[in-house]
Amino acid sequence: MRTDWKPGTLIYPLPAVLISCGGMGEGEESNLLTASWVSTVCTNPPMCVVGIRPERHSYHIIKERGAFGINLTTRAMARETDWCGVVSGRREDKFDRCGFTKEAGSVLGVPLVLESPISIECRVREITPLGSHDMFLSEVVGVRADEQYIDPETGAFDMQRAGLLVYAHGQYFGLGEYLGHFGWSVRKKKTKRR
Q: What is the pLDDT of residues 26-46, one digit of tens each?
A: 889 999 999 999 999 999 999
Residue 184 located in a structural domain: no
- The reported pLDDT for the residue numbered 83 is 96
Residue 135 located in a structural domain: yes
- C-alpha dihedral over 150, 155, 161, 164, to 10 degrees? 90
Q: Tell me, what amino acid is at 92?
A: E
The alpha carbons of the chain give a radius of gyration, in whole angstroms, of 18
Which range, 5-9, 22-26, 78-82, has the best average confidence (pLDDT)?
78-82
CA distance 60 to 47: 21
Measured from the Cβ of residue 88, the count of other Cβ atoms closer than 10 Å reads 14
CA distance 135 to 48: 10
Instruction: Give the residue-averaged pLDDT of 18-24.
Output: 96
- C-alpha dihedral over 103, 106, 37, 176, to 10 degrees? -80
Counting residues of the chain whose pLDDT is more than 70, the rounded percentage is 97
CA distance 162 to 158: 6
Which residues lie below 8 Å from residue 51, measured CB to CB, with a gap of 6+?
Answer: 35, 37, 38, 130, 133, 134, 135, 136
pTM of the model: 0.92
Residue 191 located in a structural domain: no
Residue 126 located in a structural domain: yes
**Cβ 122 vs Cβ 135: under 8 Å:** no
Residue 182 located in a structural domain: no
Q: Tell me, what amino acid is at 121?
A: E
The whole domain housing 42 covers 14-174
Residue 183 located in a structural domain: no
3-state secondary structure 24-35: CCCCCCEEEEEE
Chain centre distance of CA 96: 20
Residue 127 located in a structural domain: yes
Which pLDDT band, with edges at 50, 70 and 90, does 175 fall under? confident
Number of domains comprising the chain: 1
Chain centre distance of CA 151: 21
CATH number where 65 lies: 2.30.110.10
Counting residues of the chain whose pLDDT is more than 90, the rounded percentage is 80
Residue 156 located in a structural domain: yes
Q: What is the pLDDT of residues 68-123, one digit of tens each?
A: 999 999 999 999 999 999 999 998 999 999 999 999 999 999 999 999 999 999 99
Q: Tell me, what amino acid is at 181?
A: H
- Cα dihedral sign for 133, 137, 143, 145? positive
